[in-house]
Amino acid sequence: MASIGSFPFTVETKTESSAFLHSKNQHRPGSSFTTFSLRKSQVFTAFNNSICGFSLRSDRRGQSWRTKHVKAAGPGNFESKNDNEPEDPLEATIQKSKKVLAMQKELLHQIAERRKLVSSIKGSIANPEEEVSNEQRENSLSNLDLSSASGSNVVEDQTTNFSSSSYDDSTAKEVQEILPSGVIRDSNVGEEESGNGLPPKRTSINIYSPKQMKETDSEAAWSTEPTSFLSRTSKISCLKDEEGLKDSNLQEVTSEATDSTADYAKPPPLAGANVMNVILVAAECAPWSKTGGLGDVAGSLPKALARRGHRVMVVAPRYGNYAETHDVGIRKHYKVDGQSVEVAYFQTFIDGVDFVFIDCHMFRHMENNIYGGKREDILKRMVLFCKAAVEVPWHVPCGGVCYGDGNLVFIANDWHTALLPVYLKAYYRDNGLMKYTRSMLVIHNIAHQGRGPVEDFFYVSLPEHYLDLFKLYDPVGGEHFNIFAGGLKAADRVVTVSHGYSWELKTSEGGWGLHNIINENDWKFSGIVNGIDTKEWSPQHDVHLTSDGYTNYSLETIHTGKPQCKAALQKELGLPVREDVPLIGFIGRLDHQKGVDIIAEAIPWMMGQDVQLVMLGTGRPDLEEMLRNFENQHRDKVRGWVGFSVKIAHRITAGADILLMPSRFEPCGLNQLYAMSYGTIPVVHAVGGLRDTVQPFDPFNESGLGWTFDSAEAGKLIHALGNCLLTYREYKKSWEGLQRRGMTQDLSWDNAAQKYEELLVTAKYQW
Ligand SMILES: Nc1ncnc2c1ncn2[C@@H]1O[C@H](COP(=O)(O)OP(=O)(O)O[C@H]2O[C@H](CO)[C@@H](O)[C@H](O)[C@H]2O)[C@@H](O)[C@H]1O
């Protein structure tokens, strides 16, 4: 983090988030410019990561940094034009040098201050009992008893829905209804949790008025201070009363703080001053659970964010027994449809990411049927999941320390977790809690929205005035309840997985009834093309290519490696082993979106060609039957694999020459990205992310990555595939060029992660 230090950060904070600073200054009257906006985490992070960054920064950032600095610091800054500046250039240089020296002195002073701060943190680790105030606030809504909140304990903050002057019994009742309606707060919880020899938990919360906040050290008074890495130390008190806390955890954290000086040598995080805590919440997460691309994204985007220096967690349901994970030992209760449901948390740390799995009877043994069951049952599962997930940063210590709710952004995904931004607002932020926590909602597929009758609203246990957020009218279904609609409105930022799809979503054809909401929220809406996990999906390292005659290969060895994989695939599937026949692949859900029926229409033409076709998919029973029929009718040319097999998906990607994707709509599409990185040429309907990522082949300029067709029709597919087959057979050099260009693209998540980061930052500073 050499480039973060405190100085540019302070500048950026001041210039970009005056509202935020305003509120900060309330707690720190009289703070000076250079210190007032450094939050605990940032102080710690800055301290932890660089001193020498100060001297490098102006060189590295050059003019843009200086401009910002001048803007922020105004007159008196060493870069600003001063009326008293001497005419003599030598004298002017000397004066400037003096000012630079003075500034460096000031910076050294700040560093010394921060050293003291870290020492005091270490001290507090050594004496965790002293953190009583932290302990008091470190509790969940599952333990809140707002009926005991009264008088001076009541929030007067304007951002909440209630004030002390108007707070009476009826308000208390209302607040009770709003806040804990989805959260069990009965004394059973406390008793249960104190049943392990641990101190009983408190059953009420102290809510501080702004006056109290001012009178109290703001760092100790309220956990909404953005925390990031400091949370690792300041949240120690949350651990000591948690079941399952091991001494070793504490030691780990203590030694982490002790070793902080050693971190000077570490390279700075790519995110620089933007380092934050990120929690991605998704209904599936590869490799543990996956029905499609959402699982891939949940398993890989977080790792790329972690590589940029963020503290990153994924929260997913625990559908099966995942060997790598351990029970954190914490139990909480949430109310779903009037029933108290106990949840446990399982955790593991892989590739820099904390993976937390929420365990409860509703998810167990659902690994092969994640979205199965009646509509109400799926909804109830997602309600529970979102209620539990939003509180994970409070309850689940990772590496010994909870994430805390400061400097935190949730990334929710698709309708399944679209309730999370709503809960964050309704339960917490409307009530002055999680004030600095933000949410982003990612649209992977707008076709699935969590629609139901308006009565479904009662399952989500929200205050009545929230109903309007979810109510939607459409000509087919009439007035209905729509979870995606609520999430889109409540989230601080909305992202979809390609630019093309972000445009399509705003049209009546592409928005599936949500286009008006998306257009109204255009200001917070962006498209970012997915990346791929190059560890999982690279022909060089693919673990599924190490046996059964397959082999790993790279651009250098593609001439031998890919034919070997093709032969192995033909052998494995019982097709004639022939190097010269073009092998066409299809992988995907068998449904309307993926255009399997368009392939079906083109089958008679295809079977007239000398080709082989391998299709892998699962989904609609009629389409599954169709795949079996293709195989039965053309046993020497077609294989239709009905089922979900990650191994076969990898092997098809490596062994095929061509990948077909005639999707009617495709928000991003991952298979074409995987294909290109394996030297397999995509033939795709130019829609959504497919249009963004597959530039059409131009034989005159020898450019492009594959073939595209402009409408989802069999005739168009045949035309594009015909040209592709011709090139495969007649123009080997062009084919190799296509493979080379595809394989040398940077398709990793790193680019996308940087773009996500930019939006996470805007969300963070959004008030
Ligand atoms: N039968 C099978 N066996 C094994 N593996 C199989 C399989 N069927 C599919 N897969 C795998 O599932 C993933 C599907 O990726 P897609 O991008 O096609 O996602 P999907 O349409 O599910 O997701 C949505 O989300 C993703 C992620 O944002 C978007 O790319 C996409 O456009 C959008 O529709 C790939 O990894 C693929 O290999």
pLDDT recorded at residue 5: 27
Question: By mean pLDDT, which of 271-280, 402-411, 613-622 is the weakest?
Answer: 271-280
Which residue, among 309, 312, 289, has the nearest Cα to 301 in the 3D structure?
312
Residue 551 has pLDDT above 60, yes or no: yes
Average pLDDT over residues 509-525: 96
Predicted confidence band of residue 86 (pLDDT cuts 50, 70, 90): low
What confidence tens digit (pLDDT) does each residue in 498-514 have?
A: 999 999 999 999 999 99
Among 504, 587, 652, 673, residue to substitute to test ligand 1 (most atoms within 8 Å of Cβ): 587
The residue whose CA is least distant from atom 9 of ligand 1 is 588
Query: Do 294 and 433 reside in the same domain of the chain?
Result: yes
pLDDT recorded at residue 398: 96
Whether 653 is in the pocket of ligand 1, judged by its Cβ within 6 Å, is no
The residue whose CA is least distant from atom 3 of ligand 1 is 644
Whether 487 is in the pocket of ligand 1, judged by its Cβ within 6 Å, is no
Residue 257 has pLDDT above 90, yes or no: no
Average pLDDT over residues 546-562: 98
What is the distance in A from the centroid of ligand 1 to the CA of 728? Answer: 26
Average pLDDT over residues 586-610: 96
**Residue 193 belongs to a domain:** no
d(CA 93, CA 78): 11
Average pLDDT over residues 594-611: 97
Q: Are 650 and 614 in contact (CB under 8 A)?
A: no
d(CA 743, CA 680): 9
Residue 715 has pLDDT above 90, yes or no: yes
What is the distance in A from the centroid of ligand 1 to the CA of 659? Answer: 14
Whether 619 is in the pocket of ligand 1, judged by its Cβ within 6 Å, is no
* Exposure string over 404-443, b if 16+ CB within 10 A, otherwise e: bbbbbbbbbbbbbbbbbbbbbbbbbbbbbbbbbbbbbbbb
Whether 294 is in the pocket of ligand 1, judged by its Cβ within 6 Å, is yes
What's the start-to-end Cα distance of the chain, in Å? Answer: 26
Whether 618 is in the pocket of ligand 1, judged by its Cβ within 6 Å, is yes
In terms of phi and psi (left: phi > 0; alpha: psi -120 to 50; beta: otherwise), the region of 432 is left
Q: Is the ipTM of this complex over 0.90?
A: yes
Query: Do 502 and 563 reside in the same domain of the chain?
Result: no
Whether 645 is in the pocket of ligand 1, judged by its Cβ within 6 Å, is yes
Predicted confidence band of residue 365 (pLDDT cuts 50, 70, 90): confident
Average pLDDT over residues 711-731: 98
Whether 135 is in the pocket of ligand 1, judged by its Cβ within 6 Å, is no
* Domain end position, chosen among 510, 527, 544: 527
Query: Helices 7-16 and 18-27 sit at what angle, rounded to 10 degrees?
Result: 110
Tally the domains of the chain.
Answer: 2
The residue whose CA is least distant from atom 30 of ligand 1 is 669
Predicted confidence band of residue 404 (pLDDT cuts 50, 70, 90): very high
Whether 530 is in the pocket of ligand 1, judged by its Cβ within 6 Å, is yes
In terms of phi and psi (left: phi > 0; alpha: psi -120 to 50; beta: otherwise), the region of 199 is beta
Whether 296 is in the pocket of ligand 1, judged by its Cβ within 6 Å, is yes
Q: Give the list of residues 6+ apart from residue 47 with CB closer than 8 angstroms, or none.
A: 111, 114, 115, 117, 118, 260
Retrieve residue 699's tokens: 């034989």
What is the distance in A from the centroid of ligand 1 to the CA of 158? Answer: 45
What confidence tens digit (pLDDT) does each residue in 200-230 have?
A: 232 222 332 333 333 222 222 222 222 222 2
Predicted confidence band of residue 308 (pLDDT cuts 50, 70, 90): very high
What is the distance in A from the centroid of ligand 1 to the CA of 293? Answer: 4
Predicted confidence band of residue 87 (pLDDT cuts 50, 70, 90): low
**Residue 671 belongs to a domain:** yes
Q: Are 228 and 41 in contact (CB under 8 A)?
A: yes
d(CA 664, CA 428): 40
Query: Do 310 and 456 reside in the same domain of the chain?
Result: yes
What is the distance in A from the centroid of ligand 1 to the CA of 51? Answer: 45
What is the distance in A from the centroid of ligand 1 to the CA of 291? Answer: 7
**Residue 497 belongs to a domain:** yes
Residue 735: give its domain's CATH number. 3.40.50.2000
Atom of ligand 1 nearest to the CA of 616: 1
Atom of ligand 1 nearest to the CA of 670: 17
**Residue 71 belongs to a domain:** no
Q: How many alpha carbons lie under 13 Å from residue 522 in its C-beta half-sphere?
A: 10
**Residue 618 belongs to a domain:** yes
Whether 666 is in the pocket of ligand 1, judged by its Cβ within 6 Å, is yes
For residue 526, give the 3-state DSSP assignment: strand
d(CA 272, CA 261): 18
What is the distance in A from the centroid of ligand 1 to the CA of 363? Answer: 22
Predicted confidence band of residue 184 (pLDDT cuts 50, 70, 90): very low
pLDDT recorded at residue 111: 57
Whether 670 is in the pocket of ligand 1, judged by its Cβ within 6 Å, is yes
Whether 36 is in the pocket of ligand 1, judged by its Cβ within 6 Å, is no
Between β-strands 277-281 and 408-413, what pairing exists: parallel, antiparallel or unpaired? parallel
pLDDT recorded at residue 368: 86
Whether 646 is in the pocket of ligand 1, judged by its Cβ within 6 Å, is yes
CA angle 245, 247, 251 (to 5 degrees): 120
The residue whose CA is least distant from atom 18 of ligand 1 is 669
What is the distance in A from the centroid of ligand 1 to the CA of 290? Answer: 9
Query: Helices 89-126 and 247-258 sit at what angle, rounded to 10 degrees?
Result: 160
Whether 297 is in the pocket of ligand 1, judged by its Cβ within 6 Å, is yes
pLDDT recorded at residue 156: 26
Predicted confidence band of residue 104 (pLDDT cuts 50, 70, 90): low
The residue whose CA is least distant from atom 5 of ligand 1 is 646
In terms of phi and psi (left: phi > 0; alpha: psi -120 to 50; beta: otherwise), the region of 492 is alpha
pLDDT recorded at residue 182: 35
Residue 522 backbone phi and psi in degrees, to 5: -55, -35
Residue 61 has pLDDT above 50, yes or no: no
Predicted confidence band of residue 59 (pLDDT cuts 50, 70, 90): very low
The DSSP annotation for 620-638 comes to: -HHHHHHHHHHHHH-TTTE
d(CA 674, CA 653): 7
The residue whose CA is least distant from atom 27 of ligand 1 is 293
The DSSP annotation for 358-423 comes to: EE-TTTTT-TT-TT-S-HHHHHHHHHHHHHHHHHHHHH--BTTB---STTEEEEEETGGGTHHHHH
What is the distance in A from the centroid of ligand 1 to the CA of 649? Answer: 10
Q: Are 708 and 684 in contact (CB under 8 A)?
A: yes
Q: Are 693 and 670 in contact (CB under 8 A)?
A: no
Average pLDDT over residues 713-740: 98
pLDDT recorded at residue 117: 52
**Residue 26 belongs to a domain:** no
For all residues of the chain together, what is the average pLDDT? 75
Among 670, 687, 692, residue to substitute to test ligand 1 (most atoms within 8 Å of Cβ): 670
Q: Check residues 58 and 611 and name the one with the higher pLDDT.
A: 611
Query: Do 485 and 575 reside in the same domain of the chain?
Result: no
Atom of ligand 1 nearest to the CA of 666: 32
Retrieve residue 92's tokens: 């002017």
Atom of ligand 1 nearest to the CA of 650: 38
Whether 668 is in the pocket of ligand 1, judged by its Cβ within 6 Å, is yes
What is the distance in A from the centroid of ligand 1 to the CA of 514? Answer: 22
Among 296, 646, 647, residue to substitute to test ligand 1 (most atoms within 8 Å of Cβ): 296
Query: Do 300 and 421 reside in the same domain of the chain?
Result: yes
Average pLDDT over residues 544-548: 98
The residue whose CA is least distant from atom 23 of ligand 1 is 293
Whether 587 is in the pocket of ligand 1, judged by its Cβ within 6 Å, is yes
Amino acid sitting at position 73: A
Predicted confidence band of residue 343 (pLDDT cuts 50, 70, 90): very high
What is the distance in A from the centroid of ligand 1 to the CA of 374? Answer: 23
Q: Are 216 and 136 in contact (CB under 8 A)?
A: no
Residue 312 backbone phi and psi in degrees, to 5: -125, 140
Query: Do 277 and 321 reside in the same domain of the chain?
Result: yes
Percent of the chain with pLDDT over 90: 62
Query: Do 667 and 580 reside in the same domain of the chain?
Result: yes
d(CA 196, CA 355): 26
pLDDT recorded at residue 306: 97
Atom of ligand 1 nearest to the CA of 414: 25
What is the distance in A from the centroid of ligand 1 to the CA of 289? Answer: 13
- Count CB atoms within 10 A of the CB of residue 603: 18
pLDDT recorded at residue 199: 28
Whether 532 is in the pocket of ligand 1, judged by its Cβ within 6 Å, is no
Query: Do 683 and 741 reside in the same domain of the chain?
Result: yes
The residue whose CA is least distant from atom 15 of ligand 1 is 293
Residue 470 has pLDDT above 50, yes or no: yes
Query: Do 517 and 597 reside in the same domain of the chain?
Result: no
What is the distance in A from the centroid of ligand 1 to the CA of 320? Answer: 21
Percent of the chain with pLDDT over 70: 66
Query: Do 436 and 506 reside in the same domain of the chain?
Result: yes
Predicted confidence band of residue 110 (pLDDT cuts 50, 70, 90): low
Q: In what order do the strands lie in the sheet with 471-474?
A: 451-452, 478-482, 471-474
Whether 498 is in the pocket of ligand 1, judged by its Cβ within 6 Å, is no
Whether 691 is in the pocket of ligand 1, judged by its Cβ within 6 Å, is no
Whether 292 is in the pocket of ligand 1, judged by its Cβ within 6 Å, is yes
**Residue 93 belongs to a domain:** no
Between β-strands 471-474 and 478-482, what pairing exists: parallel, antiparallel or unpaired? antiparallel
d(CA 355, CA 364): 17
**Residue 190 belongs to a domain:** no
The DSSP annotation for 187-212 comes to: HHHHHHHGGGSSPPPPS------HHH
Residue 48 has pLDDT above 60, yes or no: no
Question: By mean pLDDT, which of 233-237, 576-580, 743-747 is the weakest?
Answer: 233-237
The residue whose CA is least distant from atom 11 of ligand 1 is 292
pLDDT recorded at residue 143: 35
d(CA 32, CA 21): 12
Residue 281 has pLDDT above 80, yes or no: yes
What is the distance in A from the centroid of ligand 1 to the CA of 18? Answer: 42
Query: Do 582 and 481 reside in the same domain of the chain?
Result: no
The residue whose CA is least distant from atom 22 of ligand 1 is 292
Query: Do 507 and 644 reside in the same domain of the chain?
Result: no
Whether 528 is in the pocket of ligand 1, judged by its Cβ within 6 Å, is no
Q: Which domain holds residue 302?
A: 272-527
What is the distance in A from the centroid of ligand 1 to the CA of 668? Answer: 9
Atom of ligand 1 nearest to the CA of 442: 28
